[in-house]
Structure 1
């Protein structure tokens, strides 16, 4: 091998070693970078996350927590799960549908809302603030951009009636994008709701490698790098379909893709 060829070979080895070192450094730094992004993003997320429930001054407690919601659109629209909302409001007893905007204390500020749109088949609902100032809104991501393995985070009120009105954040990944209706191996495992969904209304949901709790229903699932909402946590509707044959529900968390919220907002009056 000539001297020139030896120099070229050595230069190639040095380039490959340098590339390996840079790749290793990037991979080991990625978790720290994701955490740093989340630290920067959260102050802009938490003011938009609210507790959803009913309020009646004469009962104790006056506020009954039902789930989480988050502000979208013009700052007067609240997105949540349809199952979070009560079937009826006892307005004759001065009961109201409300949100609680967390404050520095555990009480927060109670704001009255009204229902403007809902879609039971996707378990999504939109509320509107009645009077007062608008709230900071979260940005919804573009549709069909989510990939399996990507980092996510969500903020809400896990077991809110017990732990109080303090927004809590969890992080993980999208572990799968999966149909909400899964054909069962035995016809005895099918139920009427699953049959209807398999026949007419199959759609995909996000399976998350992160733990959501009762009270997290309606929480925004967002990209920790940008803060854009990519889905809505669902703890009842999806599990009732995907895990209908289990006597004890799994600890898997699910989310409804944001594309369905885009559609619902587009149809809201």
Structure 2
């Protein structure tokens, strides 16, 4: 599966200067649902987040925090993705974790074939004010597993760190971020919900992926993200994702 992977970071096909209405159906076949597959689970596929095909079409980028932990002793449960076949039909495929960047909350998965249409990672950072679109599965299966697109702009490039509010907030992920310092992210003026995480941030003009959605600013609780979203969303730049992809597929 991993043979002949040179140049994956720039793989995929860009969609040049076409309306969003034409871009959406092209991208749908590349955006997958990421989760777990369990023989004893109900439903068997447990949705966690979005992801999208890159490189040779057999690799998926998503968020690190949504990838289920692999437990060798549990042969009845594994990482999986669901691929859209059109007309509301989904196909479950097995997946394997190839690489993870916990600091930037990114992960690369290898999936079973056949290859999906790959999205191209932009080689340059998007400018502030650029029009973007997000695609994912808002609120997961609660509304049905349907590709949904939100539109917005790149509102800023910012350095972000996530200090904990007291010792109770110092989980391992927060500790790692505090130790490694602030890192550069895109701030978007676009509403995102749980289920959008891990999906592509698309430059509407070129169709290229300029970022991987991380999540949104939450006012108080996780429930508030559903009832009163802030409209402030963060994404990891495509250049960071490209480096992880290249490292993971050497």
Q: Counting helix residues as a fraction of each chain, which structure ranks higher?
A: 1
After TM superposition, is the score higher than 0.5?
A: yes
> What TM-score comes out, normalization by structure 2 length?
0.80
Distance 1:195 1:58, change over 3 A: closer
* Structure 1: segments with no counterpart, 5+ residues: 1-34
**What is the aligned length?**
224
- Structure ranking higher on relative contact order (CA contacts 8 Å, 6+ apart): 2
CA RMSD between the two structures: 2.8
Query: 1:117-156 residue pairs with structure 2 within 5 A?
Result: 117-130=99-112, 132-143=113-124, 145-156=125-136
The answer to whether structure 1 residue 229 and structure 2 residue 245 are counterparts is: no
> What TM-score comes out, normalization by structure 1 length?
0.74
SS of 2:153's equivalent?
strand
Which residue matches 1:52? 34
Contact 2:103 2:180 in 1 (8 A): no
**What displacement does 1:104 show?**
3.2
Which residue matches 2:244? 264
Contact 1:172 1:208 in 2 (8 A): yes
Query: 1:58-77 residue pairs with structure 2 within 5 A?
Result: 58-77=40-59
C-alpha distance after superposition, 1:79-117 (max 9, x if no partner): 000001112347535112111012335450001110100
Distance 1:91 1:71, change over 3 A: farther
**What displacement does 1:224 show?**
0.8
* Structure 2: segments with no counterpart, 5+ residues: 1-16
Partner Cα distance (1:92, 1:40) in 2: 43
Contact 2:59 2:110 in 1 (8 A): yes
Q: Counting strand residues as a fraction of each chain, which structure ranks higher?
A: 2
Q: Which of 1 and 2 has greater Rg?
A: 1
Which residue matches 1:11? none
Partner Cα distance (2:163, 2:37) in 1: 41
Query: 1:130-209 residue pairs with structure 2 within 5 A?
Result: 130=112, 132-143=113-124, 145-181=125-161, 197=177, 200-209=180-189
**What displacement does 1:36 show?**
6.6
Contact 2:80 2:93 in 1 (8 A): yes
SS of 1:152's equivalent?
strand
